[in-house]
Amino acid sequence: MRKKIVAGNWKMNGTLEEGQKLTSEIVNMVKDEVKGEVIIVLNPPYVHLQSVKKLIGDAGNIFLGAQNCSDKSAGAYTGEVSASMLASIGASYVIIGHSERREYFKEANEELTGKVKQALGNRLLPIFCCGEPLEIREKGNHVEYVTQQLTESLFGFSEGEMKKIVIAYEPIWAIGTGKTASSEQAQEMHAAIRKHLAGKFGKALASEISILYGGSCKPDNAEEIFSKPDVDGGLIGGASLKSRDFVDIIKSF
């Protein structure tokens, strides 16, 4: 059985106080309302990681994640944060290759391989993002585009390494636009991703990899999207900044 995961990507939002309030609310609501086996991951900005970790406390189903890490292990890289630093403060997950990092910080497939390597080498579970821009979707080349992203960044890893990677499919045209992919569009791509992974790593391994959907996922569309067989959860942006909405999305499973 593959893991069901709902991860909140806070992006560059919230002061320390706001992050603490949001975390406390989520922790309390999850304790009272969430039954079952969904894994919840909070991905605040770097500076809030330790305070969020403290507030998560012993909640066994809530984990800490970062939004990025360096592809280098240590050294003279001003402003960067290494995977070993993240592991040392109790992070379990790290988002890698978000489309905003690819677009604004010019992260390319090869560099992303290095980041995944660093994450795995420091026992962090990478949440590897992929997804196509609107013009590619309109041309009907979305499956080809996304599978190529996976090939270029991930196909050099061993089966043992691949098993630890979570995939997040986030169509760029659906991020922050309020225009979510339909559940059929999500299922089509998730199934194509799984088939692509099966071609390289085998069917059994591919069937164990969690593939999350991201892009304008809200309480009123999550249930429909999560009901699809190859959708194993969500990577949530805007709605993860509102405790009620985020917990309602978790409860959609």
Q: Which residues are catalytic?
A: 98, 170
Min dist. Cβ of residue 167 to ligand 13P (A): 13
CB of 216 vs ligand 13P, minimal distance in Å: 4
Distance, CA of 187 to chain centre: 17
Nearer to ligand 13P, 65 or 214 (CB): 214
| Residues contributing to the site for ligand 13P (CB under 6 A) | 9, 98, 170, 175-176, 214-217, 235-239
Which among 117, 124, 134, 115 has a CA at the least distance from the CA of 43? 124
Q: Identify which of residues 100 and 111 has a Cβ nearer to ligand 13P in the complex.
A: 100
Looking at the Cβ atoms of 172 and 206, the one nearer to ligand 13P is 172
Residue nearest to ligand 13P (CB): 237
- Minimum Å gap between C-beta 128 and ligand 13P is 12
Residue closer to ligand 13P, measured from CB, 87 or 249? 249
Least distance from ligand 13P to the Cβ atom of residue 90, Å: 21
Smallest gap from Cβ 170 to ligand 13P, in A, equals: 5
Considering the complex, state which of residue 55 and residue 236 has its C-beta at the smaller distance from ligand 13P. 236
